[in-house]
Amino acid sequence: MEKPDKELFEKIVKIAQNRGFVFNASSIYGGLRSSYDYGPLGTLLKNNIAELWWKSLKTTEVKIYPVDTAIIQSTEVWKASGHLSEFTDPMVECKNCNSRFRSDSEPEVTCCDTQDLTEPKNFNLMFETNLGPVQNENSQVYLRPETAQGIFVNFENVLRTMRAKLPFGIANIGKSFRNEITPGQFVFRTREFEQMEIEFFCKEDESEEWMKYWTQKRLDWYIKLGLKKNLLRLRPHEADELAHYAKSTTDIEYLYPWGWGELEGVANRGNYDLAAHQEKSGKDLTYFDPKDNSKHLPTVIEPAGGLTRTVFAILLSTYEEEQLENGDSRTLFKMSFEIAPIQIAILPLSKKEELINVCNQIDSLLGTTL
């Protein structure tokens, strides 16, 4: 059985910052906890992974439609989805220094070597802000905690304009925001992150087959991307850990330096979201099936992955240390050509201007063909 490589964590954090993958946000002002900027190499790597994700959706047996939805949605969206009432983590507070932690975090986290903590209470993870020049109860809005709801509220729009037929999917890559109580572990758990989400709409009696299909397809994608197969696993959720909307969920987990962590979740959300938004908005969100002249709310299978977590996993999985013949060693990332931030190096044999000009011409040519 594979064991987590605890020493690898510090190595990757250091090399990611030194080589231009990830920087601490607001670094010249001392940084901001659990907030990161992606440098030149990190940005290229992240963009390449996102592009491969979009390309993979074109190879599915069914149609997947892309959307790009707003970060700030109507507060009614979050009321209907249950996020305002259900999207919480249990929080405890140290009675000595007032530091706050998730009570379900593993291992048990304390700050003063004391167990003198308050009883757990629910803490809503939504980031709250105000819309418009006047701040009052009517101006209250939230930064989205997931891209999924933007997809659900656009279900009818896509269905109508694309003349979509079941089964089909709608996909979105974008930033989400969660006011985590105890963020940490580099870019694994942050308050601002990027998601790759698909909402796949199908008939209820076909949902289990599609659940298996998407779970396997997404696992295969990570292996093809370059993550080591022996560091990936599937973990079905127990009944007591399911989200309030989920009938079943299977996580694709990666063996990070501290242990197994979620890379992507594949959930059967049933028709919870469409039913909730239909009731709250009064808009008919049913699908008309011309085969039997029936109307029904589709069941939804949701593969939701973390783009920034995937970047971290790629750095961990492709990192190598090589021993050179002279006794020295070097560190490098052995990434596939498709995701590597630097794919081709054009090196002149000398600094002669004529050779540099040739290199620039080759660079220009490759830039138009790759």
Beta strand 63-66 with 168-177 is: parallel
Percent of the chain with pLDDT over 70: 89
Query: Is 104 contained in some domain?
Result: no
Q: Which residue has the higher pLDDT, 167 or 83?
A: 167
Does one domain contain both 303 and 352?
A: no
- CATH code for the domain in which residue 33 is found: 3.30.930.10
Residue 346 has pLDDT above 70, yes or no: yes
Name residues whose C-beta falls within 8 Å of residue 28's C-beta, 6 or more positions apart in sequence: none
pLDDT, one tens digit per residue, over 68-91 is 999 999 999 999 998 888 766 665
pLDDT, one tens digit per residue, over 170-212 is 999 999 999 877 778 999 999 999 999 999 999 999 999 999 9
Does one domain contain both 191 and 269?
A: yes
Does one domain contain both 156 and 215?
A: yes
Query: Is 282 contained in some domain?
Result: yes
Does one domain contain both 72 and 171?
A: yes
Query: Is 361 contained in some domain?
Result: yes
Which structural domain, as residue segments, surrounds residue 237? 6-77+143-317
Tell me the three-class secondary structure of the chain, residue by residue: CCCCCHHHHHHHHHHHHHCCCEEECCHHHCCCCCCEEECHHHHHHHHHHHHHHHHHHCCCCCEEEECCCCCEECHHHHHHHCHHHHCEEEEEEECCCCCEEECCCCCCCCCCCCCCECCCEEEECCEEEECCCCCCCCCEEEECCCCHHHHHCCHHHHHHHCCCCCCEEEEEEEEEECCCCCCECCCCECCEEEEEEEEEEECHHHHHHHHHHHHHHHHHHHHHHCCCHHHEEEEECCHHHCCCCCCEEEEEEEEECCEEEEEEEEEEEECHHHHHHHHHHCCCCCEEECCCCEEECCEEEEEEEEHHHHHHHHHHHHEEEEECCCCCEEEEECCCCCCCCCCCCCCCCCCCHHHHHHHHHHHHHHHHHC
Does one domain contain both 311 and 350?
A: no
Does one domain contain both 313 and 226?
A: yes
Rounded Cα–Cα distance for residues 268 and 329 (Å): 48
Does one domain contain both 189 and 285?
A: yes
Question: For residue 170, what are its two tokens?
Answer: 């709608």
What predicted TM-score, i.e. pTM, was given to this entire model? 0.86
* pLDDT for res 101: 60
Q: Which of 280, 297, 317 is the last residue of a domain?
A: 317
* pLDDT for res 106: 46
Query: Is 114 contained in some domain?
Result: no
Does one domain contain both 220 and 369?
A: no
Name residues whose C-beta falls within 8 Å of residue 367's C-beta, 6 or more positions apart in sequence: none
* pLDDT for res 105: 67
- In angstroms, what CA-CA distances link 176 with 42, 126, 143, 272, 273? 19, 10, 7, 21, 18
Does one domain contain both 351 and 295?
A: no
| Residues 109 and 101 sit within 8 Å (Cβ to Cβ) | yes
Mean pLDDT of 57-70: 94
Mean pLDDT of 41-54: 97
Residue 66 has pLDDT above 90, yes or no: yes
Query: Is 360 contained in some domain?
Result: yes
Does one domain contain both 236 and 155?
A: yes
Range of weakest confidence among 26-30, 205-209, 273-277, 290-294: 290-294
* pLDDT for res 363: 84
* pLDDT for res 366: 80
Residue 365 has pLDDT above 60, yes or no: yes
Does one domain contain both 355 and 242?
A: no
Query: Is 97 contained in some domain?
Result: no
Query: Is 111 contained in some domain?
Result: no
Q: Which of 278, 302, 317 is the last residue of a domain?
A: 317
Mean pLDDT of 238-260: 91
Query: Is 100 contained in some domain?
Result: no
Range of weakest confidence among 59-63, 64-68, 350-354: 350-354
* pLDDT for res 104: 59
Does one domain contain both 310 and 368?
A: no
pLDDT, one tens digit per residue, over 101-153 is 655 564 455 566 556 766 666 667 889 899 988 777 778 899 999 999 999 99
Instruction: Work out how many domains the chain is built from and give that number.
Output: 2
Mean pLDDT of all residues belonging to the chain: 89
* pLDDT for res 142: 93
**268 φ/ψ angles, rounded to the nearest 5 degrees:** -95, 105
Residue 264 has pLDDT above 80, yes or no: yes
